[in-house]
Amino acid sequence: MSSYGRYHSQSYAPSAPSLPGSGYGQVSSSSGYTSFPPGTHPDVIRSFQAVDRDRSGFIDEKELQQALSSGFQKFDLRTIRLLMFLFKNPNEPLRIGPQEFAALWSCLGHWRAIFERYDKDRSGKIDPLELRDALYGIGYAVPASVLQLLISKYGDGSGRRVELGFDSFVECGMILKGLTDKFKEKDTRYTGSATLSYDTFMSMVIPFLVSYD
Ligand SMILES: [Ca+2]
């Protein structure tokens, strides 16, 4: 996904710099792991290999869930489905390969850094105000009414204030970013307005709704 490209270079942790030329990107011929981007951190490759038990060079949603849950923290399967949708290879809609996995991992690292930066009270969760600030901080001025709607999905029905764990935070962030990017494609001069046909509008929005169950 080229629209997520700007996240790729910021990688996932200062302690884990990319290692260009270290050879990890060209891991082995026979195992099928030929296509990690050069400089992919060995931990990322290891995570992929650990869950790709049949050595097919691809992983499905359950395996992705397992890989991300060990690298970051537990991911809801719903979030995994959204990530699969956003990072899928057009030829392989139900599984992802090394390239997509590396891009996804790097993107998640970026979200992790945002999560930690804006979790001001260090609660390990993002509350609605922290979410608003985080989104604003990365350039998305989302109307309060929209945020409220989005967050309401994560409530437990008790009426208590909703707080988001990392996976839900990623989910919210990626939906807003994904839809905003789609809109920007039609608003090339960044005026905040765009004219689109009904068909275009529906084909922009529906994939998010479908993947997001
Ligand atoms: Ca917090």
Query: Which of 20-24, 25-29, 135-139 is the least confident region?
Result: 20-24
State how far Cα 12 lies from the chain centre: 12
Ligand 1 centroid distance, CA of 116 (Å): 9
Ligand 1 centroid distance, CA of 125 (Å): 4
- For 150-180, the pLDDT digits (tens) are 888 888 778 788 899 999 999 999 999 889 9
User: pLDDT confidence of 35, banded at 50, 70, 90?
Assistant: confident
| Cα gap 95→57, rounded to integer Å | 10
Q: What percent of the chain has pLDDT over 90?
A: 46
Ligand 1 centroid distance, CA of 126 (Å): 4
Ligand 1 centroid distance, CA of 128 (Å): 9
- Residue 3 pLDDT exceeds 50: no
The predicted pLDDT at position 212 comes to: 57
The predicted pLDDT at position 102 comes to: 94
Ligand 1 centroid distance, CA of 70 (Å): 22
Ligand 1 centroid distance, CA of 154 (Å): 15
Ligand 1 centroid distance, CA of 158 (Å): 19
Q: Higher pLDDT residue, 118 or 17?
A: 118
- For 43-85, the pLDDT digits (tens) are 999 999 999 988 889 999 999 999 998 777 889 988 998 898 8
Average pLDDT, the chain: 81
- For 96-118, the pLDDT digits (tens) are 999 999 999 999 999 999 999 99
Ligand 1 centroid distance, CA of 96 (Å): 32
Ligand 1 centroid distance, CA of 104 (Å): 24
The predicted pLDDT at position 101 comes to: 94
User: So what's the architecture of 2-211 in CATH?
Assistant: Orthogonal Bundle (1.10)
SS (H, E, C) the chain: CHHHHHHHCCCCCCCCCCCCCCCHHHCCCCCCCCCCCCCCCHHHHHHHHHHCCCCCCCECHHHHHHHHHHHCCCCCHHHHHHHHHHHCECCECCCECHHHHHHHHHHHHHHHHHHHHHCCCCCCCECHHHHHHHHHHCCCCCCHHHHHHHHHCCCCCCCCCCCECHHHHHHHHHHHHHHHHHHHHHCCCCCCCCCCCHHHHHHHHHHHHHHCC
Ligand 1 centroid distance, CA of 67 (Å): 25
Q: Higher pLDDT residue, 118 or 6?
A: 118
Hunting for tokens 């994560």 — which residue is that? 154
- Residue 25 pLDDT exceeds 80: no
Ligand 1 centroid distance, CA of 162 (Å): 11
CA nearest to 107, candidates 133, 126, 131, 79: 79
Ligand 1 centroid distance, CA of 49 (Å): 34
